[in-house]
């Protein structure tokens, strides 16, 4: 018996070693630090169930980040697998440039029924970046069509992440990501992040919010309203550190956009499909009816790639009719409206409806947020913020003072390593531990997740103390 165990352990190690060898030799990952390319020791995900992933050593891990904010209905759903297989057998592909297909049309209709106001036209894409790219290209088409070729600049925000195509990366405001990349800088203007945690101590939250909205208006006026085509905003800045704006911020920004005929693009790639307890957060949570919503991720719960750019009837009307003959919106993909992805999305929505997953998120999220707030008693925890089932536990080694980036990276890595050993995947964005578990997570599982995170942070803090990189504040 003992021998068999040793044998199986050595097989597992061998498997992990083999996967890593292949990975390091041939797989260039997103956001690869080229200095480490070929020498990474990535965890290899092998199988899954519910909120858990199993790695190549057989270790069971809670998926804290929910893949990348996308595994809403959880892993290993048999009915989803069957729906995908059935569609793949029936019709795995059609050319969306000249044909249509029942599941894709059905999905467009279904998505339109879930969006706020008059957002009823759905352009299906391959993911979030291409949904954002489509939204921006549509804004450009719209203004060209209306005889306003100068009205093309997009206003975006620092800390924003909108994707990885040239245009969506252009409007992303995480400047560290731009170090070695080019962007169409003349097509974008950044305003500051609405992160109330970073406001000066003299300002109330309302004053901070009003100043951010004023900055938007001032920027439009400075550039000239005839030059500004769109304002793009995530309802909650996700990868930027789960930045929840002060209530009223989005509504006031929308009013400014309306005043200057600037399109409002609400990037709901993360917040859509239940993360905040609603299909889309724009209207029920933030009281806005944008002109365009972009979505992806939770649309299929990550089972297959798919994105959507959803456009208002107002815009479609202004770009349509007899005068539009010959005005081709030349944008789209081989896989726009891919039938197998659309079948997965329809099944995903059906599961979310049948299992009342939106209601479940609204019920468990106060527990999730309260439990995370308890981590504030750990000396290196600086801020805990979030809404729905998305949150960020921001750690800082020096209170009231920015610590060097390198140190923050070290801390993030330590937390990640300890948590993984304890059975939890976290996704530190430098010093920020982002939590966005599958939406089916129960209160007991939330407790398990937060307990591990607490222990992981404390162990990392002790490591840093032993290495002389951190010391407790004197009482
Ligand atoms: C708000 C937001 N928009 C767009 C994207 C890009 O989506 P994708 O990676 O599917 O292209 C992301 C990805 O994380 C995102 O968080």
Q: Pairing between strand 52-55 and 390-395?
A: unpaired
Instruction: Identify the band that residue 471 occupies on the pLDDT scale cut at 50, 70 and 90.
Output: confident
| Residue 47: inside a domain | yes
Distance CA 469, CA 471 (A): 7
Q: Is the CB of 267 under 6 A from ligand 1?
A: yes
The pair phi, psi for residue 2, each rounded to 5°, is -60, -45
Q: Is the CB of 163 under 6 A from ligand 1?
A: yes
- 202 in the same domain as 119: yes
**Tokens 């925000």 sit on residue:** 157
Q: Is the pLDDT confidence value at 5 over 80?
A: no
Q: Which of 94-108, 243-257, 332-346, 460-474 has the lowest mean pLDDT?
A: 460-474
Q: Are 272 and 280 in contact (CB under 8 A)?
A: yes
Q: Which of 439, 358, 345, 359 is nearest to 109 (CA)?
A: 345
Nearest protein CA to atom 13 of ligand 1, as residue: 163
Dmax of the chain from CA atoms?
79
Distance CA 213, CA 216 (A): 5
Segment 331-349 shows an average pLDDT of: 98
Q: Which among 29, 30, 67, 132 is the best mutation to test ligand 1's pocket, defined by most ligand atoms within 8 Å of the CB?
A: 132
Q: Which of 391, 460, 469, 467 is nearest to 429 (CA)?
A: 391
CATH number at residue 452: 3.90.1150.10
Q: Which atom of ligand 1 is nearest to the CA of 238?
A: 16
Angle between helices 339-354 and 357-373 (to 10 degrees): 80
Which residue, 302, 331, 354, sits at the end of a domain? 354
- 174 in the same domain as 130: yes
Q: Is the CB of 269 under 6 A from ligand 1?
A: yes
Q: Which of 10-14, 147-151, 215-219, 236-240 has the lowest mean pLDDT?
A: 10-14
| Residue 312: inside a domain | yes
- 314 in the same domain as 428: no
Q: Is the pLDDT confidence value at 351 over 90?
A: yes
- 129 in the same domain as 260: yes
Q: Which of 44-48, 403-407, 440-444 has the lowest mean pLDDT?
A: 403-407
Distance CA 456, CA 350 (A): 37
Q: Which among 167, 170, 297 is the best mutation to test ligand 1's pocket, defined by most ligand atoms within 8 Å of the CB?
A: 297
- 374 in the same domain as 312: no
Q: Domain range holding 417?
A: 43-73+356-466
Task: Tell the burial category of 242 from Cβ atoms under 10 Å away from its Cβ (0-12, 13-18, 19+).
Answer: buried
- 249 in the same domain as 117: yes
Q: Is the CB of 132 under 6 A from ligand 1?
A: yes
| Residue 471: inside a domain | no
Instruction: Identify the band that residue 406 occupies on the pLDDT scale cut at 50, 70 and 90.
Output: confident
Distance CA 55, CA 42 (A): 10
pLDDT at site 475: 54
The pair phi, psi for residue 171, each rounded to 5°, is -90, 5
**Tokens 């905040």 sit on residue:** 276
- 178 in the same domain as 103: yes
Segment 214-218 shows an average pLDDT of: 98
pLDDT at site 3: 47
- 256 in the same domain as 380: no
- 400 in the same domain as 272: no
Nearest protein CA to atom 3 of ligand 1, as residue: 162
| Residue 68: inside a domain | yes
Q: Pairing between strand 381-387 and 432-435?
A: unpaired
| Residue 414: inside a domain | yes
pLDDT, tens only, 409-425? 889 999 999 999 999 99
| Tally of domains within the chain | 2
User: What's the chain's average pLDDT?
Assistant: 94
Q: Is the CB of 136 under 6 A from ligand 1?
A: no
Segment 73-86 shows an average pLDDT of: 98
Q: Which atom of ligand 1 is nearest to the CA of 128?
A: 7
- 347 in the same domain as 388: no
pLDDT at site 11: 66
Instruction: Identify the band that residue 396 occupies on the pLDDT scale cut at 50, 70 and 90.
Output: confident
- 87 in the same domain as 51: no
pLDDT at site 2: 45
Residue 36's contacts (CB-CB under 8 Å, 6 or more residues apart) are: none
Q: Is the CB of 300 under 6 A from ligand 1?
A: no
| Residue 25: inside a domain | no
| Residue 34: inside a domain | no
pLDDT, tens only, 147-188? 999 999 999 999 999 999 999 999 999 887 888 999 999 999
Kindly report each contact of residues 82-85 with a partner whose C-beta sits within 8 Å and lies 24 or more positions away, as own/partner.
Answer: 83/343, 83/344, 83/346, 83/347, 84/303, 84/304, 84/340, 84/343, 84/344, 84/347
In sequence order, what are the beta bridge partners of 432? Answer: 394, 429
Q: Is the pLDDT confidence value at 256 over 60?
A: yes
Which residue, 314, 331, 354, sits at the end of a domain? 354
Q: Is the pLDDT confidence value at 101 over 60?
A: yes
Q: Is the CB of 241 under 6 A from ligand 1?
A: no
Which residue, 354, 374, 405, sits at the end of a domain? 354
- 347 in the same domain as 454: no
CATH number at residue 245: 3.40.640.10
pLDDT at site 10: 62
pLDDT at site 427: 76
pLDDT, tens only, 451-468? 999 999 999 999 999 998
pLDDT at site 283: 97
| Residue 27: inside a domain | no
Segment 85-98 shows an average pLDDT of: 98
Q: Is the pLDDT confidence value at 314 over 90?
A: yes
Q: Is the pLDDT confidence value at 6 over 60?
A: no
């Amino acid at each position: 018996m003992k021998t068999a165990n040793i044998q199986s352990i050595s097989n597992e190690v061998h498997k992990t070693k083999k996967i890593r060898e292949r990975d390091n030799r041939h797989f260039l990952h997103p956001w690869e630090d080229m200095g480490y390319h070929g020498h990474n020791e990535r965890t290899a995900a092998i199988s899954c169930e519910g909120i858990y992933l199993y790695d190549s050593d057989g270790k069971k891990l809670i998926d804290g980040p929910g893949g990348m904010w996308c595994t809403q209905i959880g892993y290993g759903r048999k009915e989803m697998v069957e729906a995908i297989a059935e569609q793949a057998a029936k019709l795995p592909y059609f050319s969306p440039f000249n044909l249509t297909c029942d599941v894709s049309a059905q999905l467009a209709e279904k998505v339109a029924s879930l969006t706020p106001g008059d957002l009823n036209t759905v352009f299906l894409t391959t993911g979030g970046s291409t949904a954002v790219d489509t939204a921006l290209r549509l804004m450009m088409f719209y203004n060209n069509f209306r005889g306003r070729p100068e009205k093309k600049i997009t206003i975006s925000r620092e800390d924003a992440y909108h994707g990885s195509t040239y245009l969506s990366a252009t409007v992303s405001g995480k400047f560290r990501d731009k170090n070695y990349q080019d962007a169409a800088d003349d097509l974008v203007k950044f305003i500051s992040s609405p992160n109330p945690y970073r406001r000066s101590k003299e300002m109330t939250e309302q004053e901070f919010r009003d100043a951010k909205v004023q900055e938007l208006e001032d920027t439009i006026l400075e550039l000239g309203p005839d030059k500004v085509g769109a304002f793009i905003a995530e309802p909650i800045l996700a990868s930027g550190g789960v930045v929840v704006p002060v209530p009223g911020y989005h509504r006031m920004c929308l009013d400014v956009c309306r005043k200057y005929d600037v399109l409002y693009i609400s990037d709901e790639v993360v917040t859509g499909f239940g993360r905040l307890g609603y299909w889309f957060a724009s209207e029920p949570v933030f009281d806005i009816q944008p002109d365009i919503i972009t979505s992806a991720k939770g649309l299929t719960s990550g089972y297959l790639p798919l994105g959507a750019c959803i456009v208002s009837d107002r815009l479609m009307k202004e770009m349509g009719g007899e005068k539009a003959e010959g005005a081709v919106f030349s944008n789209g993909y081989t896989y726009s409206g891919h039938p197998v992805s659309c079948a997965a999305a329809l099944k995903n929505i059906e599961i979310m409806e049948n299992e009342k997953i939106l209601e479940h998120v609204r019920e468990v999220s106060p527990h999730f947020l309260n439990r995370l707030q308890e981590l504030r008693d750990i000396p290196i925890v600086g801020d805990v913020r979030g809404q729905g089932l998305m949150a960020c536990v921001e750690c800082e080694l020096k209170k009231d003072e920015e610590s060097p980036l390198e140190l923050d990276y070290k801390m993030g890595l330590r937390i990640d390593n300890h948590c993984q050993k304890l059975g939890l995947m976290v996704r530190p964005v430098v010093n920020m531990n982002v939590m966005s578990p599958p939406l089916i997570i129960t209160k007991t599982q939330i407790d398990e997740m937060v307990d591990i995170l607490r222990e992981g942070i404390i162990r990392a803090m002790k490591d840093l103390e032993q290495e002389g990189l951190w010391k407790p504040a004197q009482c």
